[in-house]
Amino acid sequence: MSLTHDTIKETLAAQFGDKILGWEESYGMLSFTIQPDHNLKALTFLNDDPAMGFQFLTDLTAVHYPDRKGEEIAVVYHLHNLRENVRLRMKLYVPIEKPDVYTATGLFSGANWMERETYDFFGVNFVGHPDLRRVLNVDEMDYFPLRKEFPLEDQTRIDKDDEMFGR
Amino acid sequence: MLEQGNIHLPEGSIEKQTTTLNLGPTHPATHGVFQNILEMDGERIIKAESTVGYIHRAFEKLAERRPLNQITTLTDRLNYCSAPLNNMGWHLTCEKLLGVKTPKRVDYLRVIIMELSRISDHLICNSIVGVDTGAYTGFLYVMQYRELVYEIYEEVCGSRLTTNMGRIGGFERNFSDVAFQKIEKFLAEFPGVWKEFENLFNRNRIFIERTVGTGAISAERALNYGFTGPNLRAAGVDYDVRVHSPYSSYEDFDFIIPVGTTGDNNDRFQVRNEEIWQSLSIIRQAYQKVQAFKGTEADVYHADAPEYYLPAKADVYTKMEALIYHFKIVMGETEIPSGEVYQSIEGGNGELGFYLISDGGRTPYRLHFRRPCFIYYQAYSEIVKDTMLSDAIVTLSSLNLIAGEMDA
């Protein structure tokens, strides 16, 4: 295996410089945060560059962090270089008032439904997506259910004391 | 009586007419709840549009309020043809986050269970392909061996379909002698039956003509669509999570990854057939390895992780620590370390991934399932475009779409 985490770091840092906002390595997977408007550039570079070869989009999803003001929604991409068998995670944070992210459907056909799912649950607006509709929830739904402001349990219930058994 | 000459239709109108056909949501051929709106020109499909989400149950949201051990029951209901695979995948994810190291014997027992469920998954898929091409007998014949697999599950964990099998760190109890006897019985009887099943299909002209060259997808397109598992391997890409990122000691086993060439229905059928043979070989190897443990080693069925593994009931009544851990685990009071982990396993349909984010609370902050079905089903419209309706039905079943996994 020749493609090490250090190589990926150096190549990406040389290409994008200060557009990369942070590096992290958790449980063996390298992860980086990039400026939201550079997601497509980074994906294209990782896809096209022969030394990188991250041509397989494993997963695409989002996370809602209500406490991070101005960057509440994190969009997470899991990429895989199948030849070298290296996985890479790319993150970007967008404000909840304007969650605009460029679509990856031009690069990966598989991103189509993954982005629709992310839109469906978090309301991330994938700019340039050919068919950005809800995919799992009903079309009439007017909110994005996986955001943290929607608690799972009925708030009028009083028989469950969150003080003691709260989760 | 109207004369033929009196009817004036616009030039070429009959040729231009198309029919809209609803295949699903409850159609016997979809084997699950999802809809395909087909634009038909006679029997040829011009355009297909898929609608999914009919059995969406918000598992990702539910998981945000549940302690780790209660999420196992949610994973059962993803791909319900191979529930133990999902269970083991979830336990492996938790163990990765919690840093629990499982003993070798647990790994091998898990491998036995995972490969049994892979067999039962492929067995259903391939025999359903048979049903959809008109060969019902094979399906009914092999069904009794799925029953035998379910009896093994029953012996190990007590339930059959939605198994909720195992715990973080291992199994809830050791495999009984009956369980091992049943595994032996399966290993002795199933290969002969499966050989017969294969002959029934591979020498059947109708079946070969229905499957060869239909529903094909190239390796390049399959990768671009995010295909994994048997469907990707049928297109000729030898990607298998068991080999690329071994988990549960898969590196100790000797097996090959079967690949196809054209990615058509027949290749998918053949790849799954061959994977069943490979799984049988893995189970035999694992069984031997398990039998090689002697003395106290043969009683090991879980890791030493008292904070997450429910203690024995006798200890709960007599030991203080066991009582505390029992309470904390049952009430979901155990705090899980914060971190971000992605763990994938080779599920029945491909790479089943769990993306778990913990903020140090008692439940996951966010849990996302990478469901192979959901990702490769979007290619269906492209695959069936310009094919016959009857081929589209076979393609649907040979892709092995499980609605539960698709909709989560």
Instruction: Flag whether pLDDT at B13 surpasses 90.
Output: no
Q: Which pLDDT band, with edges at 50, 70 and 90, does A113 fall under?
A: very high
Provide, rounded to the nearest whole percent, the portion of chain B with pLDDT above 90.
80
Inter-chain CB proximity B379 and A109 less than 8 Å = yes
- A58 in contact with chain B, both atoms CB, cutoff 8 A: yes
Instruction: Flag whether pLDDT at B356 surpasses 60.
Output: yes
Q: Is the dihedral of CA B385, B390, B393, B398 positive or negative?
A: negative
- B361 in contact with chain A, both atoms CB, cutoff 8 A: yes
pLDDT at A95: 95
Q: How far is B362 from chain A (nearest CA, A)?
A: 6
Instruction: Flag whether pLDDT at A1 surpasses 60.
Output: no
Inter-chain CB proximity B225 and A27 less than 8 Å = no
pLDDT at A121: 94
Instruction: Flag whether pLDDT at B46 surpasses 80.
Output: yes
Quote the pTM value: 0.92
Mutate which: B57, B68, B224, vs A, most A CBs within 10 A: B224
Q: Which of A87-96, A154-163, B230-239, B277-286 has the lowest mean pLDDT?
A: A154-163
Instruction: Flag whether pLDDT at B84 surpasses 90.
Output: yes
Instruction: Flag whether pLDDT at A77 surpasses 70.
Output: yes
- Quickly list H helices, A17-152: 39-48, 111-122
Q: Which residue would you say has higher pLDDT here, B3 or B252? A: B252
Which residues of chain A are within 8 Å of residue B341 when distances are taken between CB atoms? 26-27
Q: Which pLDDT band, with edges at 50, 70 and 90, does B2 fall under?
A: very low
Mutate which: B100, B378, B405, vs A, most A CBs within 10 A: B378
A122 to chain B: closest CA residue: B61
Q: Which pLDDT band, with edges at 50, 70 and 90, does A162 fall under?
A: low
The 10s digit of each residue's pLDDT in B243-299 is 999 999 999 999 999 999 999 999 999 999 999 999 999 999 999 999 999 989 899
Q: Which pLDDT band, with edges at 50, 70 and 90, does B11 fall under?
A: low
pLDDT at B42: 86
pLDDT at A127: 93
Average pLDDT over residues B164-178: 93
Query: For residue B166, is it left (φ>0), alpha (ψ between -120 and 50) or beta?
Result: left
Which residues of chain A are within 8 Å of residue B407 when distances are taken between CB atoms? 136
- A114 in contact with chain B, both atoms CB, cutoff 8 A: yes
pLDDT at B26: 80
Q: Are strands A86-94 and A29-34 parallel, antiparallel or unpaired?
A: parallel
- A141 in contact with chain B, both atoms CB, cutoff 8 A: no
Residues sharing a CB contact under 8 Å with residue B56, sequence separation 6 or more, in sequence order = A136, A137, B407, B408
Domains defined for chain A, CATH in brackets:
5-151 (3.30.460.80)
Residue whose C-alpha is closest to residue B284's, from B294, B272, B276 = B276
**Sequence-distant contacts of B255-261: CB under 8 A, at least 24 apart:** B255/B281, B255/B282, B257/B233, B258/B233, B259/B233, B259/B234, B260/B233, B260/B234, B260/B235, B260/B236, B261/B236
Q: Which pLDDT band, with edges at 50, 70 and 90, does A136 fall under?
A: very high
Which residues of chain A are within 8 Å of residue B226 when distances are taken between CB atoms? 56-58, 108-110, 114
Q: How far is A85 from chain B (nearest CA, A)?
A: 7
Q: Which pLDDT band, with edges at 50, 70 and 90, does B27 fall under?
A: confident
- B240 in contact with chain A, both atoms CB, cutoff 8 A: no
pLDDT at A167: 46
pLDDT at B1: 42
B351 to chain A: closest CA residue: A58
Instruction: Flag whether pLDDT at A160 surpasses 70.
Output: no
Q: Which residue would you say has higher pLDDT here, A1 or B254? A: B254
Inter-chain CB proximity A110 and B53 less than 8 Å = no
- Is residue A19 exposed (0-12), middle (13-18) or buried (19+ Cβ within 10 Å)? middle
Instruction: Flag whether pLDDT at B17 surpasses 90.
Output: no
pLDDT at B3: 46
Tokens standing for residue B160 = 């059959």
Q: Number of A to B CB contacts under 8 A, please give it.
A: 102
Half-sphere exposure of B165 (CA within 13 A, CB side): 32
Q: How far is A14 from chain B (nearest CA, A)?
A: 27
Inter-chain CB proximity A136 and B341 less than 8 Å = no
Instruction: Flag whether pLDDT at B194 surpasses 50.
Output: yes
Q: Which pLDDT band, with edges at 50, 70 and 90, does B303 fall under?
A: very high
Q: Which residue would you say has higher pLDDT here, B11 or B244? A: B244
Average pLDDT over residues B58-86: 92
Domains defined for chain B, CATH in brackets:
51-407 (1.10.645.10)
Instruction: Flag whether pLDDT at A57 surpasses 70.
Output: yes
Q: Which of A160-164, B356-360, B389-393 has the lowest mean pLDDT?
A: A160-164
Provide, rounded to the nearest whole percent, the portion of chain B with pLDDT above 70.
96
pLDDT at A152: 75
Average pLDDT over residues B21-28: 83
Q: Which pLDDT band, with edges at 50, 70 and 90, does B135 fall under?
A: confident
Average pLDDT over residues B315-333: 92
Q: Which of A117-131, B9-23, B31-45, B77-91 has the lowest mean pLDDT?
A: B9-23
Q: Which of B58, B64, B342 sits opposite A29 (nearest CB)?
A: B342
